[in-house]
Chain A
Amino acid sequence: AQTVTQSQPEMSVQEAETVTLSCTYDTSESDYYLFWYKQPPSRQMILVIRQEAYKQQNATENRFSVNFQKAAKSFSLKISDSQLGDAAMYFCAYRSAYAGGTSYGKLTFGQGTILTVHP
């Protein structure tokens, strides 16, 4: 079974600064997807960014980028030019890419990291 670990229960950053959230995972599979989701106090889960394991290039979405290290099974999220609206709980998640397996389609989440943004 796959596991996802977020070792930082809480992080804080000053507005306009950069912060990196850590995520490691354990899997025996070679093909999978990784995601970062954001959950603000409204509790709506919002997709931040997605990475396909077969792609060597790190995904980017505006101020959000990842550092995907497949061999190390590491998937960190960097938020540049932090804004007050970035304050939320961030979850790292893993999804198998193997169709037909018992885990197909299911997301395995990390414990979450609460990000506070100071003005």
Chain B
Amino acid sequence: SAVISQKPSRDICQRGTSLTIQCQVDSQVTMMFWYRQQPGQSLTLIATANQGSEATYESGFVIDKFPISRPNLTFSTLTVSNMSPEDSSIYLCSATGQADQETQYFGPGTRLLVL
């Protein structure tokens, strides 16, 4: 299974600012995803991070608010732009390995609080 790390693990930000979350995988993976988990809730898919091209966003999420990059097979970033208190959530990165493309493995998450 892939080992996934995220930075930062948590942050407190002021409204109107932006935060970039990094996701690093220890091996080459096929697909990478970004999820949001609001307090006490389930996970909601934000987008699929595509290597070398624009991410594919789910309904309700737009590139201007959540720009995503994936410059190579092991790294991706998610930016939460122009933050408001409603963006306070846990943001999780996940990936599927080249050997096992059916199972998603998750990073430890980034806990974001917007004041």
- Residues in chain A within 8 A of chain B (CB atoms): 33, 35, 37, 42-47, 50, 52, 91, 95, 97, 105-107, 109-112
Q: Are A106 and B103 in contact (CB under 8 A)?
A: no
Q: Are B42 and A91 in contact (CB under 8 A)?
A: yes
A43: chain B residues at CB < 8 Å are 37, 90, 108-109, 111
- Output the least CB separation between A9 and chain B (Å): 10
Q: Across chains A and B, which 3 residue pairs bring their CB atoms closest together, nearest first?
A: A45-B106, A109-B42, A105-B31
Give the number of A-B contacts (CB < 8 Å). Answer: 52
B96: chain A residues at CB < 8 Å are 105
Instruction: Check B83 for interface membership: any CB of A closer than 8 A.
Output: no
A97: chain B residues at CB < 8 Å are 102
Known contacts A46-B106, A95-B102, A107-B43; 8 additional CB pairs below 8 A are: A33-B103, A43-B37, A43-B111, A44-B106, A45-B92, A52-B102, A105-B101, A107-B104
Bound complex: CA A45 to CA B106 (Å): 6
Q: Are A50 and B103 in contact (CB under 8 A)?
A: yes
Bound complex: CA A47 to CA B94 (Å): 12
Instruction: Check B33 for interface membership: any CB of A closer than 8 A.
Output: yes
Bound complex: CA A107 to CA B104 (Å): 8
Q: Are B106 and A35 in contact (CB under 8 A)?
A: no
Closest to A114 in B: B40
Some 24 contacts from A to B, beta carbons below 8 A apart, are A33-B102, A35-B104, A42-B108, A43-B37, A43-B90, A43-B108, A44-B106, A45-B94, A46-B106, A47-B1, A91-B42, A91-B43, A97-B102, A105-B31, A105-B96, A105-B101, A105-B104, A106-B48, A107-B43, A107-B45, A111-B41, A111-B42, A112-B41, A112-B42
